[in-house]
Amino acid sequence: MSETVDQSTVMPAKVETPLQRFISDFSDNKIAVVAFVVLVAIIFIAIFAPWISPTDPYDLAKVSILDSKLEPGTTSMDGVTFWLGTDSAGRDLLSSIFYGLRISLGVGVMSGIIALCIGSVIGLIAAYYGGKVDTLIMRVVDIQLSFPAILVALILISVLGTGVDKVIIALVLVQWAYYARTVRGSALVERNKEYIEAATCLALGNNRIVFRHLMPNCLPPLIVVGTVQTAHAISLEATLSFLGVGLPITEPSLGLLIANGFEVMLSGLYWVSFFPGIALLVTIVSINLVGDQLRDVLNPRLQK
């Protein structure tokens, strides 16, 4: 019966480019579309923070201690309205959040990209050469993945010390194993397909086969893992910064803003850590939602 059902439900072939099809599949889920729009807005804010922020929270000449601990919506003597209030140093929270997003996203995305590159190359090497190389690499990956990311990050930070570069290195070292495993998995599937055999028969160089033939086919799962991992990296960086072992005070990410708010929260100044947290949450949730939908759309098994 199943065969006949297949036959009878064959749709008339629509002429659609892969991109159009991807867009229409993605738009099936309205929540994901909203998340995508929010994410684009967040990225826009992060990139253009210095130009769109109401004030520069780190220009000491403009920040006045007299404006400290103002409630959301208060207007200062200079006529600036602090929509989200100010912190204990008198900085406008909205502007701080814009700048914080810039740092948090920057660190998260940069570590994500570096980890993706390193992890993919290692994963490809494992898949392409197989044997002992593969065993060794995957053993390291397994050991690392059996430890929670926060613990690995704490170990690395305790080894490397703090600082922007150290945090990025730690985040890269935490993430690379996920990429390596993903790439190896899909590369192993692709490697046994005929077109790779054909490429090998044509005596194409190893590099060419790996990067021109294997790599593009590993991209879809990589994109999905990439979005989820970037969200993780942002969350992890915020956690480390909150614990005081992440970014230095000179680079105030969202995690540091929240930590600053923690100090004054018990005296009722809820907004100082509430709003940066909301910004962090919205960022992570929208990345995760977009990632979820990407996974559904890019998963060939679920394709209609």
Partner 1 sequence: MSLIVFVGVNVVGDPVDMLINPEADQAEIQRVIRDLGLDRPLHEQYLFFVGNALEGDLGKSFIFGESALKLIVQRIPATFELALTALILAVVIGVPLGVYAGMRPTAISSRTIMAGSILGFSLPTFWVGLMMIMVFAVMLGWLPSTGRGDTVEVLGIEVSFLTLDGLSHLLMPALNLALLKISLVIRLARAGTREAMHQDYVKFARAKGLSESRVILVHVLKNIMIPVVTVLGLEFGSLIAFSVVTETVFAWPGMGKLLIDSLHNLDRPIIVAYLMIIVLIFVIINLIVDVLYSVLDPRVRIKDAGQ
Partner 2 sequence: MSADTPTLDVRELKTHFFTKAGVARAVDGVSFTVGKGEVVGLVGESGSGKSVTGFSIIGLVDPPGRVVSGEVLYNGQNLLDLSDEGMRKLRGDRIAMIFQDPMMTLNPVLRVDTQMVETIRAHDPSVSKTDALARARDALGQVGIPAPDERLRSYPHQFSGGMRQRVAIAIALLNKPDLIIADEPTTALDVTIQGQILYEAQKLCRETGTSMIWITHDLAVVAGLADKICVMYGGRIVEQGGIDDVLDHPVHPYTRGLLGSVPGHNTRGQRLYQIPGMAPSLLNLPEGCAFQARCPRADSACRVEPEITKPVEGREVRCFHPHLDRNEEVGA
**Binder of partner 1 out of 210, 214, 284, 297 (CB under 8 A):** 284
DSSP code of residue 10: P
| Strand ranges for the chain from DSSP E | 74-75, 81-82
Distance CA 267, CA 273 (A): 12
Token couple for 222: 């990589």
Contacting range for partner 2; rule: CB under 8 A; set: 1-9, 27-35, 190-198, 278-286: 1-9
Quick check: 292 binds partner 1 (CB under 8 A)?
yes
Comparing CB distances to partner 1, the nearer of 210 and 240 is: 240
CB of 117 to partner 1, least distance (A): 23
Which one of partner 1, partner 2, none is in contact with 1 (Cβ closer than 5 to 8 A by kind)? partner 2
Residues 8-67 that bind partner 2 (CB under 8 A): 8-9
DSSP letters for 38-89: HHHHHHHHHHHHHHHSSS-TT-TTT--GGGTTPPTTEE-TTS-EETT-B-TT
Quick check: 281 binds partner 1 (CB under 8 A)?
yes
Comparing CB distances to partner 1, the nearer of 55 and 229 is: 229
Residues 237-266 that bind partner 1 (CB under 8 A): 238-239, 242-245, 255, 258, 261-262, 265-266
Contacting range for partner 1; rule: CB under 8 A; set: 36-44, 143-151, 175-183, 213-221: 143-151
Partnered with residue 92 across adjacent β-strands are: 86
CA distances, 155 to each of 76, 158, 175, 278 (Å): 44, 5, 14, 28
SS (H, E, C) 73-85: CEECCCCCEECCC
Footprint of partner 2 (CB under 8 A): 1, 3-5, 7-9
